């Protein structure tokens, strides 16, 4: 089974509107972290926001917020007041705890959602 699922290959939003990018995850660990990264067309990977499995409050970072629903195993990214510069690929990723085996807690990525902001 996929550890991270992003079901929206592409999304469109009008400038200044809000948009939600979906992410569901699969883990048996109690301790894990969920991350969102932005990849513009230039290719770099930019860290946006983090949510911990034990965090009771949804994470927020400027115009980015995370709608974390632990029981549903979802961690959707909400971008408010979209800007043209938000057009990019967005990746959801998870860092699992020790229960998952392996070490150094690698990040596992979803397939990404390509967001296009229309003027």
Partner 1 sequence: EPEVTQTPSHQVTQMGQEVILRCVPISNHLYFYWYRQILGQKVEFLVSFYNNEISEKSEIFDDQFSVERPDGSNFTLKIRSTKLEDSAMYFCASSFRAVVNSPLHFGNGTRLTVT
Task: List residues near partner 1 by CB under 8 A.
Answer: 31-33, 35, 37, 42-47, 50, 52-53, 91, 93, 95-97, 102-112
Q: How far is CA 89 from CA 3, 28, 51, 70, 71, in A?
A: 19, 28, 19, 24, 27
Distance CA 62, CA 13 (A): 18
Q: How far is the CB of 61 from partner 1 (least distance, A)?
A: 11
Among residues 46 and 81, whose Cβ is nearest to partner 1?
Answer: 46
Count the residues in the chain. 119
Q: How far is the CB of 37 from partner 1 (least distance, A)?
A: 8
């Amino acid at each position: 089974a996929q550890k991270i699922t992003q079901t929206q290959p592409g999304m469109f939003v009008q400038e200044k509107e809000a948009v939600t990018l979906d992410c569901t995850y699969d883990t048996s660990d109690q301790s894990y972290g969920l991350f969102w990264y932005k990849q513009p067309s230039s290719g770099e990977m930019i860290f946006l926001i983090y949510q911990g499995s034990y965090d009771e409050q949804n994470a927020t970072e400027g115009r980015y917020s995370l709608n974390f629903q632990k029981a549903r195993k979802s961690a959707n990214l909400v971008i408010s007041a979209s800007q043209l510069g938000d057009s990019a690929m967005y990746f959801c990723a998870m860092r699992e705890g020790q229960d998952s085996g392996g070490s150094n807690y690698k990040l596992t990525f979803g397939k990404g959602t390509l967001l296009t902001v229309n003027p």
